[in-house]
């Protein structure tokens, strides 16, 4: 059966080995039968360069490369936690890095895919931080630091982000509907797939007298979450964490 899979927000790190195992099981089973796999950002809790002395994610990169080498195309859109992925990551994982706001032909239906953080326009503080982090000069300066210094900065930023989220209203951290509609108009499509907000759902709405659909991918904190698309349509699915145990 023709099937294309979409996932995001796995936030893989050493502290959650059961989710890493679940992801590896997914790659070797369900994903191995797919027409393609799209990872829409935040695959890792953070990615601070391809020179990790501990090779923290080497097994995950190998699992992705095995899937890609088997003939399943794997595409990656960087998220707000792993925007520093580079061509070394691409070579090691076999993932083809796409630009945020990419339109794909999904079984004859043009579909806009993205991480989703650019749609959260009500979170002005976050958007300012995003602009700084995506600045090539800031990135060059950060990557010039010793790995341990980068790690400490990443951990501090993660803690700061967690604390900031506790004080923000729910709507601020969600997407802005006007931003959604503007993105669809700009790319001349009526279907959008994104992650980032950790709020899996299917939203249908009217866009200039046309039916539009927004699919939101779930995170992988307590279980797996994926969007399966076939020529007949798309559906959200959960993967119980127990499936990933060794």
pLDDT digits (tens, 9 = 90+) for 166-218: 767 877 889 999 999 999 999 999 999 999 999 999 999 999 999 999 999 99
- Map tokens 């927004």 to a residue: 214
Residue 1's CB is within 10 A of a number of other CB atoms, namely 9
Enumerate the domain spans of the chain: 4-244
Core vs surface per residue 43-76: b (16+ CB within 10 A) or e: bbbbbbbbeeeeeebeebbebbbbbbeeebebbb
Contact (CB, 8 A) for 157 and 78 = no
Convert the pLDDT of each residue in 53-74 to its tens digit: 999 999 999 999 999 999 999 9
The predicted model scores a pTM of 0.95
How confident is residue 27, by pLDDT bands cut at 50, 70 and 90?
very high
For the segment 87-100, the average pLDDT, to the nearest whole number, is 97
Tokens for 49, please give them: 């360069």
How confident is residue 245, by pLDDT bands cut at 50, 70 and 90?
very low
- Edge-to-edge strands, sheet with 109-114: 102-106, 109-114, 191-194, 210-216, 201-207
Contact (CB, 8 A) for 130 and 117 = yes
User: Checking DSSP bridges between strand 96-97 and strand 102-106, what pairing results, if any?
Assistant: unpaired
For the segment 23-51, the average pLDDT, to the nearest whole number, is 97
Task: Give percent of the chain with pLDDT exceeding 70.
Answer: 98
Convert the pLDDT of each residue in 100-133 to its tens digit: 999 999 999 999 999 999 999 999 999 999 999 9
- Compute the radius of gyration of the chain from its Cα atoms: 18
Q: Candidates 3.90.1150.10, 1.10.150.120, 3.30.450.40, 3.60.21.10; correct CATH number of 4-244?
A: 3.60.21.10
Tokens for 76, please give them: 């990656």
Q: For all residues of the chain together, what is the average pLDDT?
A: 94
**Residue 140 CB burial class (10 angstroms; 0-12, 13-18, ≥19):** exposed
Residue 181's CB is within 10 A of a number of other CB atoms, namely 17
User: Checking DSSP bridges between strand 224-230 and strand 233-239, what pairing results, if any?
Assistant: antiparallel
């Amino acid at each position: 059966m023709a099937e294309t899979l979409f996932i995001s927000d796995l936030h893989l790190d050493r502290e959650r080995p059961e989710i890493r195992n679940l992801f590896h099981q997914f790659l070797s089973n369900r994903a191995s039968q797919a027409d393609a796999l799209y990872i829409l950002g935040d695959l890792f809790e953070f990615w601070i360069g391809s020179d990790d002395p501990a090779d923290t994610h080497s097994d995950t990169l190998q699992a992705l490369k095995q899937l890609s080498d088997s003939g399943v195309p794997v595409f990656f859109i960087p998220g707000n936690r792993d925007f520093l992925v580079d061509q070394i990551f691409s070579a090691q994982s076999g993932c083809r890095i796409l630009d945020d706001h990419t339109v794909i032909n999904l079984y004859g239906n043009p579909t806009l895919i993205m991480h989703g953080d650019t749609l959260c326009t009500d979170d002005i503080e976050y958007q300012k931080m995003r602009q700084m982090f995506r600045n090539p000069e800031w990135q060059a300066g950060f990557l010039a630091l010793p790995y341990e210094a980068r790690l400490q900065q990443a951990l501090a930023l993660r803690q700061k982000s967690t604390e900031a989220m506790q004080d923000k209203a729910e709507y601020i951290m969600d997407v802005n509907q006007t931003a959604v509609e503007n993105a669809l108009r700009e790319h001349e499509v009526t279907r959008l797939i994104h992650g980032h907000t950790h709020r899996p759902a299917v939203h249908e709405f009217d866009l200039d007298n046309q039916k539009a659909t927004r699919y939101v991918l779930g995170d992988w904190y307590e279980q797996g979450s994926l969007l399966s698309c076939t020529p007949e349509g798309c559906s959200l699915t959960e993967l119980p964490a127990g499936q990933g145990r060794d």
